[in-house]
């Protein structure tokens, strides 16, 4: 697997690419509780734009700042205009909020 280049902040934008592992989408999370959806939409962040499709299983480069959600196992970021939930250890997308 090729690792994405480490992101570089440029005017609030991180450059780089999303990386998927073998087989693409892996480790999808169950639909998040309403409280999590509400928190993420109420606490919008500046979106990060990366090359690649925003899909479950894609890994974020190290330079992407992921935000904590109180009392929840996953973090979040607005990626390419979409809020996504991220597993903090692997930095993989586990859910795309639509």
Domain membership flag for residue 39: yes
DSSP string, 86-98: EETTTTEEEEE--
Domain membership flag for residue 81: yes
pTM of the model: 0.75
CA-CA-CA-CA torsion for 43, 27, 90, 96, nearest 10 degrees? -20
Residue 27 — very low, low, confident or very high, per pLDDT cuts 50/70/90? low
List the one residue out of 80, 97, 88, 19 whose CA is nearest residue 46. Answer: 80
Per-residue pLDDT reduced to its tens digit, 51-73: 988 999 999 999 999 999 999 99
DSSP letter at 32 equals P
Domain membership flag for residue 3: no
Could you tell me the residue range of the domain that residue 68 belongs to?
8-96
Say how far apart CA 16 and CA 30 lie, in whole Å: 28
Number of domains in the chain: 1
Domain membership flag for residue 2: no
């Amino acid at each position: 697997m090729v690792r994405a280049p480490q992101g570089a902040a440029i005017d609030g934008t991180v450059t780089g690419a999303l990386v998927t592992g073998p087989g693409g989408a892996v480790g999808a999370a169950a639909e998040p509780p309403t409280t999590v959806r509400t928190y993420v939409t109420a606490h919008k962040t500046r979106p990060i734009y990366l090359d690649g499709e925003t899909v479950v299983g894609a890994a974020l480069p190290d330079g992407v700042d992921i935000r904590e959600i109180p009392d929840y196992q996953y973090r979040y970021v607005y990626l390419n205009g979409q809020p996504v939930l991220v597993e903090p250890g692997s930095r993989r997308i586990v859910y795309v909020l639509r």
